[in-house]
Amino acid sequence: MRYAHFFTSLTILIFATTCSGQVKNDLPKEKSEHPKLIKTIGNPRYGNVQCSLQDKAGNLWFGTTQNGLYKYDGKSFRQFLVADGLNSNNISSILEDKDGNIWIGTDAGVCFYDARLQDGRAKTFTKIQIPLRKNLPPNKFRNTHEVFSIMQSKSGTLWFATIDGVYTYVGQGSFTPFIIDESAMGYMSSNNNAERILEDKAGNIWFGGRGTHGVYRYDARLPLRAGSDENDKVAQGKSVTNIPLEDLFQDGPKPKAHNWAWPQLQDKNGNIWFSNWGGVYRYDGKTFTSFTKSDGLPGCVTRIIEDKKGNLWFGGDASTGLSRYDARLPLRVGSDENDKVGQGMSITHFTAEDGLLNNSIWSILEDTSGNIWVGTRETGLYLYDARLPDGQGKTFTTYSEYKP
């Protein structure tokens, strides 16, 4: 029996990883005829394709650890490195804002790509320094200034979840620290940073990261005020509310070992999905329901997206792979080892037999043609061809290669 807990107040849009626009990346007629993302730096066994987006012009962007940023126009990949103006070759997040500008989060801060400038030999990136607050809590990773995620709210405000706390940006170089928890000097606590940000359809903003402080929700309708009253966990009248982990993710009387959560997305039905190393959690506005590997999903879930058909894709690290939930069928929760996917095969798991040669997933993107791009460890990039029905040969094609 899975645990579902009533809860009265909280709700993101993450990372804005897909955008509207005409598709430039038409697939080649033959799978063997296509360009590849060329890895040139570091050990080929290390590094991730960490983040991705499709811009308004139809270009695909892929951020990697070690190998910088790649832009794919449907004909070729172009690699951007520190020599092109980036402040680091380790990319952790990427966003296109409403004006078509590209914001890149790295382990050294933020870079800005002006969409009005044409690619050329000149440096096309502007390095932006986020002014840090005084009296930051101790951080064992102080030698980095990683930007975990970037989100633009409906109001146009840019939000940055960093190792040094959460900041907002409204233009003219003005960054403002966002107070999550006054008891932790505006931060979740030492090294328990907010790593993912999501805005829900109601305009609430959710924060979560690896640590022990649960999930926070910011109600933008109320004046900014952080609450930490243990006797008032729903914090009526307080704009920032903490949902303790023991209240969220628990099976029976014993809390889960993975007591943290990333807010991932809000689906078409209004459910908000969270993930951690234990599985995924669906919040329907009243209750939380957990789904784990026994339900056919990956463990260690790093990324969740919803495609145009309403299917949910779940990517897992630690070689737990990629699964797709068919939204046309009910998601059946069961524990029968011989029927993990449930009646109707509502969950499909993809493996090396389907062409997905690396099962540690860190990025999933649907392009405007409905194709799915999957970024993995070992700087792997794979394309799921939407033209081919499942079962007709390998449905994933490798789009990366190592050339030292």
In a domain, 352, yes or no: yes
Q: What integer pLDDT is reported at residue 302 of this predicted model?
A: 94
Q: What integer pLDDT is reported at residue 335 of this predicted model?
A: 34
In a domain, 355, yes or no: yes
CB atoms within 10 A of CB 342: 18
In a domain, 1, yes or no: no
In a domain, 26, yes or no: no
Q: How many domains does the chain have?
A: 1
Residue 381 lies in domain: 37-402
In a domain, 27, yes or no: no
Compare 56 and 385 and report the one with higher pLDDT. Answer: 56
Q: In this predicted structure, which of 25-39, 104-118, 133-147, 235-249 has the lowest mean pLDDT? A: 235-249
Q: What integer pLDDT is reported at residue 259 of this predicted model?
A: 65
Q: Each residue of 185-204: pLDDT tens digit? A: 444 444 457 899 999 999 99
- pTM: predicted TM-score of the whole model, two decimal places: 0.82
Q: What integer pLDDT is reported at residue 391 of this predicted model?
A: 54
Beta strands in 145-208 (DSSP E): 147-152, 158-162, 165-169, 175-177, 196-199, 205-208
For residues 277-300, give the mean pLDDT: 83
In a domain, 3, yes or no: no
In a domain, 20, yes or no: no
Q: What integer pLDDT is reported at residue 257 of this predicted model?
A: 55
Q: What integer pLDDT is reported at residue 249 of this predicted model?
A: 55
User: How far is CA 113 from its chain centroid?
Assistant: 20
| Bridge partners for 92 per DSSP | none
Confidence of residue 344 (pLDDT cuts 50, 70, 90): very low
Contacts of 326 (CB under 8 A, 6+ apart): 311, 344, 345, 346, 347, 348
In a domain, 144, yes or no: yes
Whether residue 3 is predicted with pLDDT greater than 50 in this model: the reply is: no
* CA gap 74, 65 in Å, rounded: 22
Q: Each residue of 123-182: pLDDT tens digit? A: 679 999 888 776 666 666 567 889 999 999 999 999 999 988 889 998 877 899 887 765
> Which CATH number do you get for residue 350?
2.130.10.10
